[in-house]
Amino acid sequence: MAALAPVLHAGDLPLAELCAARLDGELVRVDDAFRPVDVVDDPSTRAAAAAHGWSPRLIAEQLTAAWIWGVLAEPPRRHQLCTTTGARARPAAPHRSVVREVAIDADEFALCGGVRVTLPVRTIVDLARFSPRFGDAEIRIVRALAALERSGADECRAALDRRRNLPAKKLAWSRIVTALGGGP
């Protein structure tokens, strides 16, 4: 018997069969995809599940990156993606994602399951800069991301200082200090 792929989408098998296999306990739902129960739920699996149909130019960021890294139990309703300035990539399902064009260096993201994902420190900085609100849930996410790399406010400050004239830099630093502690 042939082994199943680590992540299955509706194009791999009919959706009815995938759902029936999930009800039978053979598959587990991962975002809009499924994985066999014996496949480990890890960043590579979550990335492959989410990125079905995405352009390789897209980079998972903010809450999507946090979910891929395992900090969130569930994926965001709309995936947060970015692309390098000038790449002009669009997602396959625009109703399920938001794409921003950003300045990002190759050392600020990693390849995970064939998908580019912002590293935890970059994810922290982006969440601190762009989250509409920054309450207890966001603080927990930032702390969990920092724990993944054993990073703290100093690494986040260095990430903020990489670019001149960074919008929302003071707000981000204030939020990071609230979440992780740190100095002026």
Locate the domains of the chain by residue range.
42-180
Gap between the terminal Cα atoms of the chain: 61
Edge-to-edge order in the sheet of strand 79-84: 97-102, 79-84, 59-60, 115-118, 109-112
Q: Which two tokens stand for residue 50?
A: 């989410």
Does 126 score more than 90 pLDDT? yes
Pairing of β 79-84 and β 97-102: parallel
At 139, the amino acid letter reads I
Q: What pTM did the predictor assign?
A: 0.91
How sure is the predictor about 96, in pLDDT bands with cuts at 50, 70 and 90?
A: confident
- Give me the helix-helix angle, 120-130 and 136-149, nearest 10°: 160
| Tokens standing for residue 76 | 């965001």
Count CA atoms within 13 Å of residue 15 on its CB side.
Answer: 3
User: Does the pLDDT at position 5 exceed 60?
Assistant: yes
Residues 34-74: pLDDT tens digits?
Answer: 999 999 999 999 999 998 888 888 999 999 999 999 999 99
Task: Give residue 85's pLDDT.
Answer: 80
pLDDT, averaged across the chain: 90
Percent composition of the chain: helix, strand, coil (DSSP 3-state, to 5): 40, 15, 40
